[in-house]
Each structure stands twice: as C-alpha cells, then as structure tokens.
Structure 1
Amino acid sequence: MSAQRSVISIAVFAVVYAAISLVVTNSYYQLIMTLVLVWAVFGLSWNLLSGYTGLISFGHAAFFGIGAYTTALGQIYFDLSPWLLIPVAAVFGGVAGLLIGYPTFRLQGHYFALAMLAYPLAILYVFEWLGFQEVTLPIKRDNPIAYMQFSDPRLYTMLALVMLIGTIVLTRAVERSRFGMALLAIKQNQAAAEAAGIDTLRWKLRAITLSGAIAGALGAFYAVVLLVVTPQSVFGMLVSAQALTVAMFGGVGTVWGPVIGSVILIPLAETLNAEAGSYLPGIQGVIFGLAIICVILLAPEGLFWKVRDIWRRRQLEQTPSQATDVTATATVAQLPLPARRDRPAEQGDVILEVHNLSRAFGGLKAVQDVSFKLRRNEILGIIGPNGAGKTTVFNLLNGFLRPDGGEVLLEGRDMFARKPHELCEAGVARTFQIMRPFQRMSISDNVVVGAYVRAKSDTEARRLAADAISRVGLTPIAGRIAGELSTKELRLMELARALAGQPKILLLDETLAGLGHDEADEVVTVIQRLARDNMTIAIIEHTMQAMVRLVDNFLVLDHGAVLLEGKPEHVTRDVRVIEAYLGKKWVAHAAH
C-alpha cells in the first residue's frame, strides 16, 4: 500500500508540474521552472549523503562543477554531444565522490563539514588558474537537437522533470533497501549501527559515490541550460548552500523534502533577485540564510518532518496507547518467572577465551590482564563497583575500543582488535547501557537492521526480524516508531535487534537499567527464555537479586582486574566481594 501511494504521489506531481510548465510561455518564468527542478535534484543528491547519514556536506558543488565543466570542455575540445557527456559527467562525479570520501570519512561532525567545504574552493582556484574563468558552450545551429539546444525552453523543463522523477524513484529504491536502512541507522546512531554489523565506511562510500554521480550529471545538464560556465557559478559556496538549504528547509532524510524546499525557495529567491538584485546584491544568499534560520528555530528537521510529527501526535492522542502497551507485553508478563537455572554449562565446551586483556587511558589502567572463559550456553554475570572496568571490557570485546594487549579467541579464531562490524559478523552481538535506538524507525525496521548481518535478502531479513521480535514479546507493536516507546519496550527492542543477527554470544550491558521492579522481572523472564534456547550470554548488571537468579557464574572486577570468578552462591558470600562491591547489607543475606 505504501509503495502504491508513493507511485501515485510521484505521478500526480509529474502530471501537475508538466501541465503548469506547458501553460507558462514567458521564457524567464520557464527558466525558473527548470531551475526549481534542477535544485530539487541537487537537493536529493545532497540528501542521499547528508540527509541519510547525518554527515553534513558543504562541498557538493565539487561534483556539480565537475559535471558542468565536463559538458563545457567536452563540447569545446571534442565536439561531443551532451547526450553522451551527461552520463560521462555522472561517472566523473561518482569517481570524485569516492576519491573525496575515502580520506574525509575518517573525520566526524564539523571537521567533516569543513573538510568538504575545502574541495570545491580548491577546484575553483584550479580552474581559474587554468584560464577557464568563463566558458561559453558553442551554438550548434545545424543540429541543435543532438546538442540539446532547444528553441522551446519548455523542453528543458521536461528533461529536468524526467531527471527529477528518475532521481526520486532511485532515492525511494535506496531508501527501502538494505542500502537505505544502513544509511539511516548510521545517521541515527553510528555506534549501534556498527554493533549491528554495518560496515559504516563502506556504506558511506557508496552513498557519496552515488550522490556525486547524480550531482555530476545534473551539473552537466545545468551547463547546457545556461550555455555559460564560470568557476564561481558551479563551484561557489552558494551552489553547495542551495543544495543544503532546499533539503534542510523541506526535510532531510526524506524523498520529498528537497522537492518541497526547492518549490518554495527557488522561485522566491529568483524572483527577488530579478526584481531587487540591482540595488540589493546578494539577495539570494539572504533568502537562503533566512530559510536556514527559520528551519533551525521552527522545524530543525524540515517542514516534512514537522508536519509528519504533528500528524502522528494527533493520531496517538486519538488512540488509547496504554491498552496497546499492555497488549504488547502480555505474552511476556503472563509467563511464570522461572527460578535461576542450576544446569551447569558443558565442561570443556568453551566458545570465548580471553587472556590478559588490557587497556589503559593515559596513566589510568582501566582493564588489567583480565582473563576468563565463556562456555557455550552459559550465562556469565560480570559485576563490580562503578569504575571497575565492566563496560570497558565489553567495548574491547565488541571492537569499540582497541586493546593494548591480550588475546581474544572466538571458537578458536583470533578476534583481537577487530572492528565492531567484523565481530558482529563473527557472532558477537550486544546491547548498550545507554539505549541506542534508531529513533525514527519502527521497531520492525530497527530489528531488520540487526538481521542484515546474517540475511542474504530483504525477505530473509524481515523473517529473522519478525522471529526476534516475537521472542521478546513485541510483535503486537512492531510497527510503532522507536521514539514513541517506553524504556522497557526500548530495552526489549534492542535485545531483539541483537538477536536478529543470530549471534553466538550476546553481550548485555545493564539491560535492566531504568526499569521498575515489575518491568525488570519481565525482561529477566525474556533473558531466561533465551538461555533455555541455548543462547550464550555475558551480562553486566547492578541488580544483584536479578543476577543471582539469572547467571551460572560470576566474574567480579575491581579496579580493572579480576577479583574473583565462581558460582553465585560462593561469590555472594566471599568477603572480598562484599567489601569491594556488595556492602555490609549483604553479609546477613550471605549467612542464610
């Protein structure tokens, strides 16, 4: 149904815009209608990278300008047709994206944005130095169609409309695929995406390559429309700013956002520039600047998301959400709480071996020569006072921190200092102490992201995700958006996302944090059911009552070193553990 609505929306937009363009006869207004489509496509190109990954690019003019000069110089020096040069420009733009992205993606945040800004400025000065300050495309009166030089400007609008529809369809296809899900996951929480098995560098490189290809093709078409190319007009800061502004104003990370922004802002900016540009130079930049200020103040993610969020809030107000929440977890809550299992793990069946694992931060030794073994189907509880190094151990095992020394063997394979997505592929999944949901995705889509590491197709990913959601009891609300969930539901969703990749080992980092007593019991029940399904688990938790009921063995850390390892009944009675962690209130309890 959603796909059908999307097709209808695209068709209606294309028909209405084409009809309007056929009615307009004024050549200037016809040019504006073409430019609206040009900047909408450019906004979509920018959106494919920055809107879906969250890495803001101030340098998309680099790809746009490369495309424009490909057409201009290709016609002047080689007498080639734009019908050929536009695809060539797309290739050049894609290659430029790959070459620029590989070194630049090692930067994050504003460092990435500033680095991207440098590329078009550098290329601009290169083209000025080469003497291409103003390049005019040759007029071809003998065969104008072959050189895309139409007497009727409406034909340019129609070609631009075809390019826009093609870009929208391509963006929708990306958005609904593993590609788009990976990009959205990276944007909303890169650490969680890496933990779910996403190779973030590879997917970002694919995004900037595709984005650069679209921008290159568009720049080539833009040169044909205007017939004049200057470094400032295609590499200048205002070019990148327009792509960024139309996308941010309309809504980032969505297909229709750049279209909405372009339809509103471009006619306004162009009209004011024509009417007042002579005595108010730079009025276009002022319009785009004001648009960005309005977005920041009133709709930080753009008009599309603002309207959508208002609509969803009204729908939620009309729907009794509490009843949905009870229904969603009834399958878990109605199960009896099993007692702690007393079945020992099979002796000798070791799945994870850790030897002398160490990590220091400057002079602080956060983890000191930690060694332990995790047996298949075992639940190992890792406990210790705050600052004992528990989460650091998880981050070392999960690849978010690089160990200074030691050895990590998973089923005999060396896993020392591997990246998070490599460890996830090998079978190590985790949840986080501070929850890391993909806020704007549904529960189902959140879990599908985790399933992709094991699934070979979208269908298989959906099946694995549905099974994982069922195992934690969230099937009745699988369509709800993560940003609307309670803490308990988020904890269960993160657990399902980790399970969807069919891991060999599950690392649970304070899964009960922030939960009430009854909610904690429900989550404990889910974990116990997983253990009975032969899941191997290592868990960090401060709630000792739950841990004693859950685990087969304890590993006690203190000041980054192993203090004790053993059965719960022995560990909870050990004087060293009581002094370091449990406190005197446990002395009386240990005596029983």
Structure 2
Amino acid sequence: MRPGATPRLRRHGMILAGLLVAYLAISAVVTNSYYQLMLTLVPIWAVLGLSWNVFSGYVGLTSFGHAAFFGLGAYTVALLLTMLNLTPWIGIPLAAVVGAAAALLIGLPTFRLRGHYFALAMLAYPLLMSYLAQYLGYNEVSLPMRRDEPVTWMQFTDPRVYTVLAVGLLALAMAISMVVENSRFGLSLMAIRQNELAAEAAGLNVRQWKMRALMLSGGMAGAAGGFYACVLLVVTPEAVLGMLVSAQALVVALFGGVGTYWGPLIGAAILIPLSETLHAELGEIIPGIQGVVYGAAIILIMLLAPEGLYWSIRDRWARQAAPRPSPVPEAPARVPAAPAARPSPPPSGKTLLEVRGLSKSFGGLRAVDDVSFSVVQGSILGIIGPNGAGKTTMFNALNGVLPADRGEARMDGEEIIGRKLFEICRMGVGRTFQVVRSFPRLPLLDNVLVGAYGAGLPDEEAVTAAREAITRTGLTHLTDAPAGGLTSKELRLMELARALAGRPRLLLLDETLAGLGRDECDAVLDVLKGLRAEGMTTIIIEHTMHAMLRIADELLVIDHGRVLAQGHPREVVEDRKVIEAYLGRKWLARCSK
C-alpha cells in the first residue's frame, strides 16, 4: 500500500458505506416499477464506469469499446443458463473471467497502437461481436423463467432485491477500485498516465501494467454485463453491445471525473436518473433523448470542468485550503543521508561503464557517430558540446529510450544495449531528463516512490528508499506537496530523488542545472558532491561550464555526434578544438593573438 493508504481507505470506506445504506433506504420506499428499475441500473452503470476508469482513467488510453466486455458477460450468463442450466451465481463470476480473457486477447494486438488509433481500434470490437452474435442467431436470447426457485436462478418478483444485489456488486467494484488506486498498482498506472516515458525510465514495465489494468477492467465489465442480463431477462446485441453501452461507460466516468473511484459513482448518480426520467416523461416526444442527455453532459463538462466534477470541486477546495508550506530557512541544500541508506563504495579505479562504437542515425543524419568512452566507478563524467551535438541522443541510446544502430555498452561487464528501457533501469541505471518529467497530480513522495517501485522493491522497503532519496536531496519539507506546484529547482531535485529511489549504480543526468539561477545551481551541485562522496557514479550533460569545472572529474566533448576531446576538465577547456567548437574560428583567432 502507498503511504497513508490505510487511514484513507478506512475513511473513504465509511463514507461509501453511508452512501450505499442511504441509497438502499431510498430504494426501499420506491414502489413505481420503472423507477425501481432505474435505481437498479444506477449501480450497474456505475460498475461499468468504474471498469472503464480502472483502465482508461488510470492508464490514459481512451477506450470506445468497453461494450465488448459488457456484452460478452451478458451473453455468457444467458447462454450458460439456457444451454447448460447453470445458475447466474456461477455464471456471473464466469462472465468476469470471460471478460478478463477477452481483454487479454484484445490487448495483445491493440497495445501496439497509440492515441486515437487505439481508441478507434477498441471501437471496432463491440461492432464485430454484435455482427457475430447476429450471424450465429443470437439476436434475442431470453432467459428461461424459473420463478419456483428465485434465489437459485436470481429471478425475483420483488424488483428491490435486484437493487440490493446491484448495490452489493457496486460495493465490490468500489472496494477493488479503492485498493487499486491506493496500491502500487494504482500509483504505477497513474504515473503511466501522466508521463509514460518517465514511468518506464523509472523501471516500470509499461506494457505489462497496461495489460493488467485492461484485464481487471474487462473482468469488472463482464460481471456487470452478466448481472445486467439477469435484470433484463432478454439479451440482444443492441442492448449489451451497442454504441450507447460504450458511451455510457465513458460518459459517467468523464462527467464525474477520471482517475478516481468517486468519478464514475458521481457520474452515474447524476446522469442515469436524469436520462431515465427524461426518457420516461419525454421518450415518445423526443426519441433517443438518452443520447441527447449524454451528449449535452459531455459538452458541458468539457467546457466547464474538463477533468470532471470531482477534480473541479477538489481543486477549488484545495485552493482555499492552507497555503503551501514554506521552505526551511537557509539550511544547507543537502541533508545528510539517513543511516539506513546503503551508499556505494568509494572510488576504486574500477571501470563501471565502458562504451564502444555507439552510433545512432536518423535517416541521413548521424546524431551519434562511433562514440567510445569509459567511466570510473565513483567518479563524475561531464559531457559537454554545442546544441545539437548528439549528447541527449547518446543518453537515449544508452538507457533504451532509442535503439542504437550499432555499438556496445557494458556496465560491470553486462551488455545494456538492446535491452528495454525498464530493464536497463532495473540493472541499476537511473535517469533524469532535459525537460523535467514529473507526475504533476501526485505528491512529491509518490513521484519518488515510483522510482522505488520501478526497481522492484517490496512496499515497505520502497517507501523507506523513497524517503531516504528525498532526505538526500534536501526535500523533506515538501514530501506531501503536489509536484505541480514545485519550483524549477525543487522539480530538478525531485527527479533526481526519483532516480535515487531505485538505488542505482549509475546516474545519467541530462542538464540538471538547466533554467536555474546561480544560488540554485550551487544547491544542486552540493547534492551531487554529496552523492559522489558516497561513491555514486554519475554522467552529467551540462552547458554551464563553470559548474562542470567544479563538479566533473573528467570531461567528454561531443561535436556533430563524435568525440572531440576527453580528459581532465582544465586540459579539455583549453583544447583549441574545443574552443573552436564552442566559440567558432574567429574567437579562436582572437585567443591565439
């Protein structure tokens, strides 16, 4: 569980229990059969919205095809009952299994797509299943009436019993969503949603986490569809695989707020009663008024609260809350590491990383051209060069963001070129980026915790490692501050802390001092000096020459993708070729006079 998850779960669980009890009390006094059905549909569509949110809300890939899982669940229960005489009490769990299995089969090819291509591909699956159901003759599957044993066959004369069962299904779905959101699972998904590259660079297997989320989402949708079949008693392609089904899953989540378990609950509680009531009162006058309600809801929410009602209200509340904690007064920028930290051994002269013949091209442009160098364990190698020289591209090829065309890079004798980004991270390579990649809606501690989770540390050890990394970078006073409100220096240190939380052997820092003032640079440099004192091996790209002279044990100069010079910092900066690359031949001529 994430830090503070247990009391938060207990508090939210009590709120949910109170809401559900109040809902059941209201349903107990409703006698109109249509409105009783409506009260049963609200929890069902809330469960479908929760299933959509577990995937699209947390991962960030929009699905227009959740009707596929919902419809498969409905047909599973209906066909098992009609063909095998199997009770829905067994059919609904099997529907969840079928939904999860379908999600696996759908996800394998579809995860190769991104953005709107993924969304459009998901839209095709329920359409395909609808045509297949019609082709197989399942245009209308009626559940056989078994009123003699209502409990066994889930066929009750009192519609309020269905409402109680629907609320129970909703409670289970909410419990699953609460556990997911407050666990390693949810934090990993939210990190992927906010910045996929940073999440993978922190060690998360992005494709695997997406697949797990889709399978859980498909299972929840399948269970909801299975119960829906028991309520309708007649299953048709339009009712369970139609466009309106996928739209409802998406709309209730978007309206209430994506990325939180409260969102689909809020959306379903408002939109379903509104649309069903208007359908009852005006359905004959305005056919399809439900679609009008959902369309209007999406337009309004996009204009007035783009992230949904929950986030709009929460953000407004947060702005009125206590001001951001002020930083600790002029204390040393670096706080000593906690005693529990496991520092690396001091410099020993041993080569940690050896790069030979690394090359990367983009069409006819050779961004990195036959680059070779080595890094001694416990030292800091500074990489300098003009803009566009290929420095960041070299980092990207080293840690798996981009595939190298050729060359090798061995860390402690183990090849890292050709491995995936998260695999290289788990080998002990931490990385920061030229433009800070944070998870702005998460607090600083969770941002750093992602790095510990990415390294595969168990929950308690991961929290310890994250807090140690925060202490080492001097950010303890901002542990609970949202990353979206941090200053440039704090964001740079936070990203460094995230890399440290994975307990790496090698740090790749890409322009960590970019955009900082002199005092801020000094503070970050003090942190880097402290890490070197602990024995951390670091490669840093930087344009600030005076900072590189203060911090680097050795400089590597790259120009037009090739190594121009390498050696002691003072010797390198006085090299005529380096001066010409940075300042041009006219400046070199002046310097020679």
TM-score tier after normalising by the smaller chain length = over 0.9
Provide the residue aligned with 1:578 in structure 2: 579
Which of 221, 231, 240 aligns to 1:234? It is 240
Q: Give the aligned residue type for 2:186.
A: G
Q: Is the 8 A contact 2:359 2:407 kept in 1?
A: yes
Alignment of 1:59-98 (within 5 A): 59-98=65-104
User: Which stretch shows the higher mean deviation, 255-264 or 280-289?
Assistant: 280-289
Q: Give the aligned residue type for 1:234.
A: V
Measured after TM superposition, the shift of residue 329 of structure 1 is 7.2
Provide the residue aligned with 2:319 in structure 1: 313
Deviation per residue, 1:466-521 (Å, 9 max, x gap): 00000000111100111111111111100000000000100000111111111111
Q: Is the 8 A contact 1:48 1:171 kept in 2?
A: yes
1:35, 1:367 → 2: CA distance?
59
Provide the residue aligned with 2:444 in structure 1: 443
Q: Is the 8 A contact 2:425 2:455 kept in 1?
A: no
Q: Is the 8 A contact 2:147 2:156 kept in 1?
A: no
2:521, 2:172 → 1: CA distance?
50
Alignment of 1:314-393 (within 5 A): 314-315=320-321, 318-319=322-323, 321=324, 324-327=325-328, 330-332=331-333, 346-347=348-349, 349-393=350-394
Provide the residue aligned with 2:136 in structure 1: 130
Provide the residue aligned with 1:341 in structure 2: none
TM-score (norm 2): 0.95
Provide the residue aligned with 1:176 in structure 2: 182
SS at structure 2 position matched to 1:198: coil
SS at structure 2 position matched to 1:326: coil
Q: Is the 8 A contact 1:573 1:590 kept in 2?
A: no
Which of 246, 254, 277 aligns to 1:271? It is 277
Deviation per residue, 1:208-241 (Å, 9 max, x gap): 1111011001100000001111101111111011
Q: Once superposed, which parts of structure 1, at least 4 consecutive aligned residues long, lie more than 4 Å away? A: 582-591
Q: Give the aligned residue type for 2:503.
A: Q
Change (3 A) 1:585 1:162: farther
Which of 211, 215, 223 aligns to 1:217? It is 223
2:329, 2:163 → 1: CA distance?
51
Q: Give the aligned residue type for 1:55.
A: L
Provide the residue aligned with 1:338 in structure 2: none
Provide the residue aligned with 2:34 in structure 1: 28
Q: Is the 8 A contact 1:329 1:473 kept in 2?
A: no
RMSD: 1.8
SS at structure 1 position matched to 2:565: strand
Provide the residue aligned with 1:505 in structure 2: 506
1:331, 1:258 → 2: CA distance?
46
SS at structure 2 position matched to 1:452: helix
Q: Give the aligned residue type for 1:568.
A: P
Provide the residue aligned with 2:488 in structure 1: 487
1:242, 1:569 → 2: CA distance?
66
Measured after TM superposition, the shift of residue 585 of structure 1 is 11
Q: Is the 8 A contact 1:541 1:547 kept in 2?
A: yes
Deviation per residue, 1:409-435 (Å, 9 max, x gap): 111011112111000000011001111
Provide the residue aligned with 1:420 in structure 2: 421
SS at structure 2 position matched to 1:330: coil
Alignment of 1:91-170 (within 5 A): 91-170=97-176
2:268, 2:385 → 1: CA distance?
56
Deviation per residue, 1:395-418 (Å, 9 max, x gap): 001101000111111110111121
Q: Is the 8 A contact 1:177 1:458 kept in 2?
A: no
Measured after TM superposition, the shift of residue 374 of structure 1 is 1.1
User: Which stretch shows the higher mean deviation, 239-248 or 577-586?
Assistant: 577-586
Change (3 A) 1:334 1:444: closer
Provide the residue aligned with 1:340 in structure 2: none
Which of 283, 287, 293 aligns to 2:289? It is 283
2:402 aligned with 1:396: no
Provide the residue aligned with 1:408 in structure 2: 409
1:118, 1:498 → 2: CA distance?
40
Q: Give the aligned residue type for 2:479.
A: A
2:57 aligned with 1:51: yes
Q: Is the 8 A contact 1:572 1:590 kept in 2?
A: no
Measured after TM superposition, the shift of residue 326 of structure 1 is 2.7
Measured after TM superposition, the shift of residue 328 of structure 1 is 7.6
2:194, 2:465 → 1: CA distance?
22
Provide the residue aligned with 2:3 in structure 1: none
Q: Is the 8 A contact 1:390 1:557 kept in 2?
A: yes
Q: Give the aligned residue type for 1:400.
A: V
Q: Is the 8 A contact 2:36 2:160 kept in 1?
A: yes
Q: Is the 8 A contact 2:443 2:482 kept in 1?
A: yes
Deviation per residue, 1:524-572 (Å, 9 max, x gap): 1111111111110000011111111010111110001111111101001
Q: Give the aligned residue type for 2:41.
A: L
1:392, 1:506 → 2: CA distance?
16
SS at structure 2 position matched to 1:214: helix
2:568 aligned with 1:562: no
Alignment of 1:542-557 (within 5 A): 542-557=543-558
1:296, 1:552 → 2: CA distance?
53
2:78, 2:225 → 1: CA distance?
10
Q: Is the 8 A contact 1:329 1:474 kept in 2?
A: no
2:412, 2:74 → 1: CA distance?
55
Q: Give the aligned residue type for 1:87.
A: P
Provide the residue aligned with 1:339 in structure 2: none
User: Which stretch shows the higher mean deviation, 356-365 or 273-282?
Assistant: 273-282
Q: Is the 8 A contact 1:123 1:235 kept in 2?
A: yes
Deviation per residue, 1:31-67 (Å, 9 max, x gap): 1111110000000000000000000000100000000
Q: Is the 8 A contact 1:444 1:465 kept in 2?
A: yes
Q: Is the 8 A contact 2:9 2:178 kept in 1?
A: no
Q: Give the aligned residue type for 1:183.
A: L
User: Which stretch shows the higher mean deviation, 412-421 or 422-431?
Assistant: 412-421
Measured after TM superposition, the shift of residue 333 of structure 1 is 7.1
Q: Give the aligned residue type for 1:95.
A: A
2:451, 2:590 → 1: CA distance?
41
Q: Is the 8 A contact 2:580 2:587 kept in 1?
A: no
Q: Is the 8 A contact 1:345 1:378 kept in 2?
A: yes
Measured after TM superposition, the shift of residue 325 of structure 1 is 3.8
1:38, 1:588 → 2: CA distance?
78
Corresponding residue pairs, total? 577
Q: Percent identity?
A: 58
2:528, 2:452 → 1: CA distance?
19
Measured after TM superposition, the shift of residue 10 of structure 1 is 1.4
Measured after TM superposition, the shift of residue 346 of structure 1 is 3.6
SS at structure 1 position matched to 2:578: helix
SS at structure 2 position matched to 1:360: strand
1:145, 1:297 → 2: CA distance?
47
SS at structure 2 position matched to 1:332: coil
Provide the residue aligned with 2:251 in structure 1: 245
Which of 47, 60, 85 aligns to 1:41? It is 47
Deviation per residue, 1:325-374 (Å, 9 max, x gap): 43187341799xxxxxxxx9543x11111110111101111110011111
Q: Is the 8 A contact 2:335 2:473 kept in 1?
A: no
